Amino acid sequence: MSNRPVVRFAVRASDGRRSAEWRLWTGDKKPTDETYLAPRSLAGDFKVSLHKSGYSQHGPTSRVRERVRPGARHALDRWESSAEVARGIRLTYALRFYERELRHAGELSASTLFVPASVEDGSTVLGVYITDHEIGETELEQLGEIYAVLPRASEGKVVLAGLHFAADPGKYEADLVGLRDSVLGFGWDWGSTLDERFGWMHGDHESGVHLVTELSAETFTAAEEARPALAHEGFKAIGHLDELPPDLQPAVPVCAVLIVPPRHRPSLFYDSRARCDFQAVTSEALALAEALRKDGPDPHWERLPDGSYVCALVTEHQIGPGHRDAGHGQERRKTSAFGPAVDIAIGKRTGHQER
């Protein structure tokens, strides 16, 4: 196997359908003790960082964070690396590819490593293992089929190994349900213009290992289209913040904007870039709407010309007078409405643009 510190790989079926191309690297020209993983087409925008310190994270690169949410320094998720699967060997990350989600997506470079797909309707799981010592053939065999071994600056290796699994319709359907339920709060919208035919759903395997499932763009589109039917029955509509007119766009980071009309169910609009507990936001929004109808408006609400009331929902992490942080708090407790007046949050009212 090559001793280069970078490998590009994709899962490919016998009929030519394939996954996205991925890049795994420990350095560009010389290896380091840091390990990175990303879909190759997004490697400048998004990556998984598996640090020597034992902590890992994934999210947009600093360039994208600065463009999308200036001043943000947090990744989407940060965790401590998994326990050893054998002496000195850690399974740090896993990728799952369903055979049915592979697509005809154009030719890749001859230098791309192609991993054979599983049986029809099955799945291929590739693990990224990091060792703190030189690893022998016997130890390698315990990890499954070995596809690549990358050097590290210090003693040790990064190993890409895989296993194939037979069809499991129940697991596949469970992932689709999970995708549909998570569409509302789905990550960062960094406005990539890349023509990518795949998307990725992040979760945790029952073993505690972080697991990313790759799905086709068509599957993500279907999940998005199913969103209105999945909206909570307590709301007239659930949407994204950018669907609001300019005069209702918040001028500071928030989790969501809640609008309650006089004689209809409320509507809720999320900021999909905020690191919020959207399930808690939804529950709190219903409670606030009910309290408004029962007790009337308090200072958190602002009345719109059509008689509707609007307020912004945020987290409990204070970021300044009358502001609460929707995107940067590490401890996400129950949300509440903005401070004394909603005009702090609504740009039109004050011209205040603190995003």
241 and 345 belong to one structural domain: yes
Q: What is the C-alpha to C-alpha distance for residues 112 and 78, in angstroms, rounded to an integer?
A: 29
Question: pTM (2 decimals)?
Answer: 0.67
- Tell me which of 206, 224, 242 is where a domain ends: 224
Q: What is the pLDDT along the chain (355 residues), one digit of tens a residue?
A: 668 999 999 999 999 999 999 999 999 889 999 999 998 887 677 788 998 888 888 777 766 666 655 555 555 677 787 778 888 899 999 999 999 999 998 889 889 999 999 999 999 999 999 998 888 888 888 899 999 999 999 889 999 999 999 998 888 988 887 776 664 443 333 334 344 688 888 777 667 788 889 999 888 888 777 655 545 778 988 888 888 988 888 877 788 999 999 888 999 998 876 767 777 888 889 999 999 988 899 888 999 999 999 999 886 432 322 222 333 222 222 222 322 222 223 332 222 222 2
Which domain, by its residues, includes 333?
231-350
The last residue of one of the domains, among 224, 247, 263, is 224
Pair 294, 217 in one domain: no
In the chain, how many domains are there?
2
Residues 144 and 27 in one domain: yes
* Residues facing residue 113 across a β-bridge: 9
| Whether residue 296 sits in one domain with residue 200 | no
Domain's final residue, options 198, 224, 250: 224
Any domain includes 1: no
